[in-house]
């Protein structure tokens, strides 16, 4: 059982906790005390590169960690910490490590022998090339005090104190990259080389060292996750796979039939009856030839005596065919519907999960790729689920039944037919593994084609404005040609494999005919009746059918599994922004905002915000100003909780945003973005998007307040006018005013304005500013504006530079600082306005 102990040290001092030798456990099946934490650490001597601290807000299992729950941790008070073994890693880290082991041939994690040499590990990279660009096994490790080069067995080759490093240089070329570390007077202290697979990991180390040289402190505590993302992130995107084997994906797909168990049972029963009835006609043929026609031909029985028997057999055959076709109709109808139901459920699940995912997911994925997974990939699963699963099961059943019948009819001929079957199945399996990789590549290329469409169609106005139609057509043609080549590669593999396999099967058929001929003629072997041979030949034709079906189903399954990989990759992506298990209700937001020592990084290494602290009182209008890239948009992203701070806390009304009831909070949050997004629909629907049940009178009142009512009334259908995709039928200023009307109708307690008056003419700006003046009354407002004149009415201005709070004060107070950042920005804008005025 894992020990529980109270937290007595701050987050920054946990390196000491790690060295107190609290032994871990190999059991990853944990219950966590309410109010406790899970510490995902590497154990003594392993540094804190792999750690992850997760609050446990309730008794029971913690989601997002591998393993079933079977073991309860000993009693611990709230605020306790529990060691979590490395085997219970978050799913994303496990996936990336599995991908590295499968595709790169490089280690997925820093060896324990190397960890034992280091203190608290911040970053590392695998340096797999020596000076002569020959393969080697070495590691570049950055811990809290030193930069080390270690052999795979932990032997230390170089240990440089970080304080002695004065410069870092990086170069990359064809297939390899180089990192050089320099000391005082430009002396080269160390150099390492690696294949380009490690380029991003080396870039992270260079960035952190460069930040240290420039006087900025960067502290990282998740080295394993950063390394895994750096090396395997591109593989995961390219392969669109979740490192599962093929059959586990198939079993998971079959799980979607669970709500339709009754229909599956009925459809399967019809299919089994149909299969059994397929076995009747050949046997009836044998009976007619050997037991009805042959005795009459030999004169042993009279024709009149056997005619009723013959007619009865024929009638039974007719009834068999009738029942069989009824079963075929019933099975096809049931399974087609079931396939559609399952594809429908998958589309619903993936689309619902997309809404649960954080913005960081969408910033890393191309729109076309996501659309392809929701539409095309789920559609490709329909054929396999509707027909492939049942056909494969029936084919296995038919093979077993027909094999038994063939051996029962004639054991010699039956063995010739049945013994090679395992070889055929093995060939299907190994070829399926090969073609699956080609399918993954082909679907990735098809996503690239969809990505071009998702880029160019919404941006068609820009394409035409710059007369780039030919360029975009050629770009599409290149992607389309690449996709064609990828799919032709799949077809080439299949069309080569299948005829060869069928040729072998026909060779077996010829062997059966050869042995049967000598026995029918009495040349060799036991005698063989004509009826038995004809029945055997008919069964042999039936025996070939399930083998062909299994081959075709293998191809269909590879297509389906490739699509399922891509669908499940989205479904299995854990949202980074989650609602607390016991959220704090936010029925009425007062608007008191506090950033407490907040730091943030989009990639886990480069910090956009650095220890930022400020407070906003209810009803204040705060202006965020600063140069591009300073971190202003990141602040409003954190305030809207599109992302979570990587350090410190963002609080609203004294409650950490990570603990609030997020849907309730966002219903009281309004955002007017720099580029307003309008949905394809009417003006009315777009204004009341946040309040679908709002009456028309309230919508008109909001439009009047936003200075939008007049231009809306001049449109052909007024509020019922279709604005087109993304509102392309409206001007930029009109779209912005519709966006402001939407915010006014929403009546938020906390309002975010992101460059709401940018890129519009003076008259439009005046109208928008008048609308904003009405909108901000009685609310807490956080506004970003590059035109500093629009923020003169703000209660206070926060000047952000390099992710830190450089200055704070009113417009007049900041202008009074001649060397201040705000004063310089203001003077530059005044000079630009004067130049344009001339």
What's the pLDDT at 387? 75
The answer to whether residues 540 and 397 belong to one domain is yes
Evaluate whether residue 346 is within a structural domain.
Answer: yes
Evaluate whether residue 585 is within a structural domain.
Answer: no
Cβ neighbours for 247, distance < 8 A, ≥ 6 positions apart: none
The answer to whether residues 131 and 278 belong to one domain is no
Query: Please, how many CA atoms are within 13 Å of residue 640, restricted to the half-sphere of its CB?
Result: 22
The answer to whether residues 509 and 552 belong to one domain is yes
Query: Please, how many CA atoms are within 13 Å of residue 742, restricted to the half-sphere of its CB?
Result: 27
Evaluate whether residue 186 is within a structural domain.
Answer: yes
The answer to whether residues 308 and 213 belong to one domain is no
What's the pLDDT at 811? 86
What's the pLDDT at 593? 93
Sheet holding 655-656, edge to edge: 607-616, 593-601, 647-652, 655-656
Task: Give dist(CA 534, CA 538) in Å, integer.
Answer: 6
* Of residues 141, 41, 158, the one with CA closest to residue 88: 41
Could you write out the DSSP letters of every residue in 381-430? Answer: HHHIIIIIHHHHHHHHHHHHHHHHHHHHH-HHHHHHHHTTHHHHHHHHHH
Tell me what percent of the residues of the chain surpass a pLDDT of 90: 11
Evaluate whether residue 75 is within a structural domain.
Answer: yes
Helix axes 530-571, 411-418, angle to 10 degrees: 20
Contact by Cβ (8 Å): 267, 341: no
Pairing relationship of beta strands 36-40 and 80-84 according to DSSP bridges:
parallel
Task: Give dist(CA 616, CA 94) in Å, integer.
Answer: 41
**Which residue ranges in the chain fall short of pLDDT 50?**
1-89, 238-243, 837-838
The gap from C-alpha 388 to its chain's centroid, in whole angstroms, comes to 26
Report the DSSP beta bridge partners of residue 181.
168, 190
Evaluate whether residue 37 is within a structural domain.
Answer: yes
Q: Which two tokens stand for residue 243?
A: 């490192």
Q: Which two tokens stand for residue 633?
A: 């948009």
Cβ neighbours for 658, distance < 8 A, ≥ 6 positions apart: 580, 641, 644, 649
Write out the H or E segment, with its range, that includes residue 684: helix 683-687
The answer to whether residues 336 and 421 belong to one domain is yes
* Domain span including residue 190: 93-239
Task: Give dist(CA 657, CA 648) in Å, integer.
Answer: 11
Query: Looking at 89, 107, 142, which one is the last position of a domain?
Result: 89
Cβ neighbours for 414, distance < 8 A, ≥ 6 positions apart: 403, 406, 407, 408
Evaluate whether residue 544 is within a structural domain.
Answer: yes
Neighbours of 30 (CB within 10 A): 24
What's the pLDDT at 234? 63
Contact by Cβ (8 Å): 689, 742: yes
* Of residues 230, 222, 227, 225, the one with CA closest to residue 53: 222
DSSP 8-state secondary structure symbol assigned to residue 290? I
Helix axes 732-746, 696-705, angle to 10 degrees: 120
The gap from C-alpha 279 to its chain's centroid, in whole angstroms, comes to 47
User: Can you give the CATH number for the domain in which 519 is found?
Assistant: 1.20.1560.10
User: Can you give the CATH number for the domain in which 641 is found?
Assistant: 3.40.50.300
Task: Give dist(CA 636, CA 754) in Å, integer.
Answer: 8
The answer to whether residues 37 and 119 belong to one domain is no
Mean predicted lDDT score pLDDT of the chain: 77
Query: Looking at 536, 571, 606, which one is the last position of a domain?
Result: 571
Cβ neighbours for 299, distance < 8 A, ≥ 6 positions apart: none
Helices (H), ranges, 586-661 = 632-639
The answer to whether residues 506 and 554 belong to one domain is yes
Q: Which two tokens stand for residue 30?
A: 């944990």
Query: Looking at 205, 239, 273, which one is the last position of a domain?
Result: 239
Task: Give dist(CA 566, CA 350) in Å, integer.
Answer: 11
Task: Give dist(CA 107, CA 105) in Å, integer.
Answer: 7
Write out the H or E segment, with its range, that includes residue 452: helix 421-456
DSSP 8-state secondary structure symbol assigned to residue 547? H
* Of residues 513, 211, 260, the one with CA closest to residue 386: 260
Coil, helix or strand for 465? Answer: helix
Encode pLDDT of 772-816 as tens digits: 777 777 788 898 877 776 677 788 899 998 888 999 998 888 888
* CA distance to 179, 208, 651, 734, per residue, from 270 (Å): 67, 66, 62, 61
Report the DSSP beta bridge partners of residue 231.
none
Contact by Cβ (8 Å): 563, 380: yes
The answer to whether residues 596 and 553 belong to one domain is no
The answer to whether residues 621 and 523 belong to one domain is no
The answer to whether residues 48 and 140 belong to one domain is no
Q: Which two tokens stand for residue 538?
A: 């008919």
Contact by Cβ (8 Å): 682, 688: no
Overall number of domains in the chain: 4
Coil, helix or strand for 379? Answer: helix
DSSP 8-state secondary structure symbol assigned to residue 466? T
Contact by Cβ (8 Å): 116, 58: no
* Of residues 113, 138, 130, the one with CA closest to residue 45: 113
Pairing relationship of beta strands 796-801 and 621-625 according to DSSP bridges:
parallel
The answer to whether residues 157 and 274 belong to one domain is no
Evaluate whether residue 696 is within a structural domain.
Answer: no
Neighbours of 434 (CB within 10 A): 11
The answer to whether residues 78 and 108 belong to one domain is no
What's the pLDDT at 21? 32
Encode pLDDT of 669-711 as tens digits: 888 887 778 888 888 988 888 888 888 988 998 888 888 888 8
Evaluate whether residue 287 is within a structural domain.
Answer: yes
User: Can you give the CATH number for the domain in which 147 is found?
Assistant: 2.30.29.30
* Gyration radius from the chain CA atoms: 35
* CA distance to 263, 714, 814, per residue, from 455 (Å): 42, 32, 42
Coil, helix or strand for 526? Answer: coil
Neighbours of 20 (CB within 10 A): 9
- Matching residue, tokens 């969809």: 450
Task: Give dist(CA 821, CA 801) in Å, integer.
Answer: 8
Contact by Cβ (8 Å): 244, 367: no
Task: Give dist(CA 294, CA 288) in Å, integer.
Answer: 8
Q: Rounded to the nearest 5°, which phi and psi values hold at 563?
A: -70, -40
Coil, helix or strand for 630? Answer: coil
The gap from C-alpha 16 to its chain's centroid, in whole angstroms, comes to 37
Cβ neighbours for 787, distance < 8 A, ≥ 6 positions apart: 757, 758, 829
> How many residues are there in the chain?
838
Encode pLDDT of 750-764 as tens digits: 888 887 665 555 666
Write out the H or E segment, with its range, that includes residue 481: helix 469-520
């Amino acid at each position: 059982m894992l020990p529980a102990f109270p937290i007595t040290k701050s987050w920054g001092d946990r390196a000491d906790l790690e060295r107190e030798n609290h032994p871990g456990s190999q059991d990853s099946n944990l219950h966590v005390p309410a109010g406790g934490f899970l510490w995902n650490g590497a154990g003594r001597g392993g540094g804190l590169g792999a750690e992850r601290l997760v609050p446990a807000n309730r008794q029971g299992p913690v989601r997002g960690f591998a393993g079933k729950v079977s073991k309860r941790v000993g009693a611990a008070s709230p605020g306790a910490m529990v060691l979590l073994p490395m085997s219970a890693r978050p799913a994303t880290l496990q996936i990336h490590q599995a991908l590295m082991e499968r595709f790169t041939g490089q280690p997925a994690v820093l060896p324990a022998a190397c960890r034992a040499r280091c203190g608290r590990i911040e970053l590392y990279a695998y340096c797999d090339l020596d000076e002569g660009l020959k393969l080697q096994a070495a590691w570049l490790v950055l811990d809290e005090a030193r930069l080390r080069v270690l052999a795979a067995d932990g032997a230390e080759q170089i240990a440089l104190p970080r304080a002695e490093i004065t410069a870092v240089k990086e170069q990359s070329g064809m297939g390899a990259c180089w990192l050089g570390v320099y000391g005082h007077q430009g002396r080269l202290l160390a150099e390492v080389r690696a294949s380009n697979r490690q380029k991003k990991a080396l870039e992270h180390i260079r960035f952190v060292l460069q930040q240290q040289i420039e006087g900025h402190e960067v502290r990282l505590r998740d080295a394993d996750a950063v390394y895994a993302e750096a090396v395997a992130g591109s593989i995961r995107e390219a392969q669109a796979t979740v490192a599962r084997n093929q059959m586990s994906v198939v079993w998971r797909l079959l799980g979607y039939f669970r709500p339709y168990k009754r229909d599956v049972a009925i459809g399967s029963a019809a299919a089994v009856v149909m299969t059994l009835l397929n076995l009747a006609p050949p046997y009836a043929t044998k009976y007619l030839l050997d037991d009805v026609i042959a005795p009459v031909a030999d004169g042993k029985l009279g024709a009149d005596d056997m005619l009723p028997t013959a007619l009865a057999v024929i009638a039974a055959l007719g009834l068999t065919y009738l029942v069989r076709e009824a079963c075929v109709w019933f099975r096809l109808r049931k399974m087609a519907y079931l396939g559609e139901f399952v594809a429908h459920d998958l589309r619903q699940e993936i689309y619902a999960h997309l809404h649960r995912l954080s913005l960081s997911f969408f910033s890393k994925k191309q729109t076309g790729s996501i659309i392809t997974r929701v539409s095309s990939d789920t559609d490709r699963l329909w054929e396999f689920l509707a027909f492939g699963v049942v056909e494969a099961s029936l084919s296995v059943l038919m093979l077993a039944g027909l094999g038994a019948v063939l051996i029962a009819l004639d054991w010699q001929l039956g063995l010739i037919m049945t013994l090679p079957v395992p070889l055929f199945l093995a060939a299907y399996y190994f070829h399926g593994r090969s073609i699956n990789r080609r399918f993954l590549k082909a679907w990735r290329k098809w996503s690239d084609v969809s990505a071009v469409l998702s880029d160019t169609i919404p941006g068609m106005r820009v394409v035409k404005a710059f007369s780039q139609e030919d360029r975009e057509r050629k770009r599409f043609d290149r992607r389309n040609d690449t996709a064609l080549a990828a799919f032709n590669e799949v077809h080439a593999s299949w069309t080569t494999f299948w005829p060869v396999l069928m040729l072998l099967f026909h060779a077996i058929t010829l062997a059966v005919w050869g042995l049967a001929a000598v026995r029918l003629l009495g040349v060799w072997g036991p005698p063989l009746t004509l009826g038995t041979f004809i029945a055997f030949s008919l069964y042999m034709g039936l025996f070939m059918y399930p083998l062909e079906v299994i081959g075709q189903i293998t191809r269909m399954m590879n297509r389906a599994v490739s699509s399922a990989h891509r669908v499940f990759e989205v479904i299995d992506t854990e949202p980074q922004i989650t609602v607390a298990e016991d959220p704090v209700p936010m029925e009425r937001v007062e608007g008191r905002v506090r950033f407490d020592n907040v730091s943030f990084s989009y990639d886990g290494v480069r910090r956009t915000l650095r220890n930022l602290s400020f407070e906003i009182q209810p009803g204040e209008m705060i202006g965020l100003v600063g140069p591009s890239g300073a971190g202003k948009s990141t602040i409003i992203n954190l305030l809207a909780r599109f992302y979570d701070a990587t350090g410190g806390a963002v609080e609203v009304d004294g409650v950490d945003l990570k603990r609030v009831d997020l849907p309730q909070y966002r219903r009281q949050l309004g955002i007017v973005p720099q580029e307003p997004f309008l949905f394809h629909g009417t003006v009315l629907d777009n204004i009341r998007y946040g309040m679908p049940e709002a009456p028309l009178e309230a919508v008109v009142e909001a439009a009047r307040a936003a200075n939008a009512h007049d231009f809306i009334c001049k449109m052909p259908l007024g509020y019922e006018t279709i604005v087109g995709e993304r509102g392309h039928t409206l001007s930029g200023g009109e779209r912005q005013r519709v966006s402001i009307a939407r915010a006014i109708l929403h009546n938020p307690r906390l309002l975010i304005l992101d460059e709401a008056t940018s890129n519009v003419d003076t008259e439009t700006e005046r109208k928008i500013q008048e609308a904003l003046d009405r909108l901000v009354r009685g609310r807490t407002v956080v506004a970003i504006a590059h035109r500093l004149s629009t923020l003169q009415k703000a209660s206070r201005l926060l000047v952000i530079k390099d992710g830190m709070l450089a200055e704070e004060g009113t417009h007049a107070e900041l202008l009074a600082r001649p060397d201040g950042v705000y004063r310089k920005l203001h003077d530059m804008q005044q000079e630009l306005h004067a130049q344009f005025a001339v």
